[in-house]
């Protein structure tokens, strides 16, 4: 079975990567492309916009125009648009992949409600390598315990608008879970001035922004005399694109429920 894929944000950096990734997966085909109403790409060929040559899929500005043309919508846009698209997909019985970061708890609650009607796979990062790091981060925290203080450092390109990255937060959640705690109880997101000595249980975050860095993440477990690091460096967004299409093919076979990339990879 070939899964019909719609990509929203089709003319953006990640949208173009997703369209290319669809073309590389024999189990998927691009059947719809969506952009914001003011996009200069409206009416243009999505394949040509992605540098692949014409594929006959024209970019539109309203999901309702193409709601019957796809099985799974892939959304790596912005929280407000993602929530609206989740509601539209749920009402039409369409499946969804969400890679949007920066969602609030209220946004996530609305997405979870939509997932009660039709399957959604939501992840802060769809890279297979990063998801392996999530698993390893939890296991390392459980094994090393409180003798090792944990710090998470992430770097991204200058255009990224949220901080820390969604991937860094997911790594923090994995570490906290390995310690049997909630991240919100132990996270430290900034240090400036006389902040005092590091407390026993805190998980610190450091954020770097600049240039064209696709995404670097390192979890450091530090004790007296040694340091253990789990690190992932992305040199191309295609790692996210390939994973998202893999997840789209997987979620197309599900009826309803909220899943993540750990489910897709069988890590749970």
Q: State the CATH number of the domain containing residue 82.
A: 3.40.50.720
Alpha carbons 220 and 32: distance in angstroms, whole number: 42
Q: Which residue among the candidates 94, 156, 217, 232 is catalytic per the annotation? A: 156
Same domain, 230 and 241: no
Residues 174 and 227 in one domain: yes
Tokens 């975050």 belong to 205
Total number of domains in the chain: 2
The number of beta carbons lying within 10 Å of the beta carbon of residue 232 is 22
| 4 is known as an active-site residue | no
Sheet holding 28-34, edge to edge: 59-60, 28-34, 3-8, 72-75, 95-98, 120-122, 258-259
* Length of the chain in terms of residues written: 268
Q: Is the pLDDT of residue 209 over 90?
A: yes
Q: Is residue 107 located within the same domain as residue 17? A: yes
pLDDT more than 90, % of the chain: 96
- Domain identity same for 242 and 195: no
How far apart, in Å, are the Cα atoms of 46 and each of 74, 143, 145, 160, 201? 14, 48, 49, 24, 49
Same structural domain for residues 151 and 96? Answer: no
C-alpha–C-alpha distance, residues 63 and 34, integer Å: 7
- pLDDT exceeds 90 at position 235: yes
> CA–CA separation, 231 vs 217, rounded Å?
6
DSSP 8-state symbol, 53: -
> Does one domain contain both 114 and 135?
no
Q: Are 14 and 98 in contact (CB under 8 A)?
A: no
Q: Indicate if 78 and 36 belong to the same structural domain.
A: yes
User: Do 229 and 245 have their domain in common?
Assistant: no
Of the candidates 87, 108, 135, 160, the residue annotated as catalytic is 160
Q: Is 156 a catalytic residue?
A: yes
Domain that holds residue 117: 3-122+237-264
pLDDT digits (tens, 9 = 90+) for 121-137: 999 899 999 999 999 99
Query: The pTM is what?
Result: 0.85
Among 48, 72, 49, 50, residue whose Cα is nearest residue 238:
50
Residue 218 pLDDT level (bands cut at 50, 70, 90): very high
């Amino acid at each position: 079975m070939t899964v019909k894929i719609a990509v929203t944000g089709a003319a953006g950096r990640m949208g173009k990567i997703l369209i290319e990734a669809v073309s590389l997966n024999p189990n998927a085909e691009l059947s719809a492309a969506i952009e914001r109403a003011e996009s200069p790409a409206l009416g243009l060929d999505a394949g040509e916009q992605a540098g692949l040559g014409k594929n006959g899929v024209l970019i539109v500005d309203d999901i309702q125009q193409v709601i019957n043309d796809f099985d799974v919508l892939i959304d790596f846009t912005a929280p407000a648009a993602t929530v609206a698209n989740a509601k539209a997909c749920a009402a039409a019985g369409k499946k969804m992949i969400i890679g949007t970061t920066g969602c609030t708890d209220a946004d996530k609650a609305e997405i979870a409600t939509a997932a009660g009607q039709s399957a959604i796979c939501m992840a802060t990062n769809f890279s297979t390598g990063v998801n392996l790091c999530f698993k390893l981060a939890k296991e390392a925290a459980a094994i090393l315990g409180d003798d090792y203080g944990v710090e998470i450092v992430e770097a991204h390109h200058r255009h990224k608008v949220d901080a820390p990255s969604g991937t860094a937060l997911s790594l923090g959640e994995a570490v906290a879970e390995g310690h049997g705690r909630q991240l919100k109880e132990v996270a430290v997101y900034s240090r400036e001035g006389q902040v005092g000595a590091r407390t026993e249980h805190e998980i610190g975050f450091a954020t770097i922004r600049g240039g064209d860095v696709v995404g670097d993440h390192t979890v450091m477990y530090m004790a007296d005399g040694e340091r253990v690091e789990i690190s992932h460096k992305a040199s191309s967004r295609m790692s996210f694109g390939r994973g998202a299409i893999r997840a789209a093919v997987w979620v197309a076979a599900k009826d309803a429920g909220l899943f993540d990339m750990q489910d897709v990879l069988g890590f749970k």
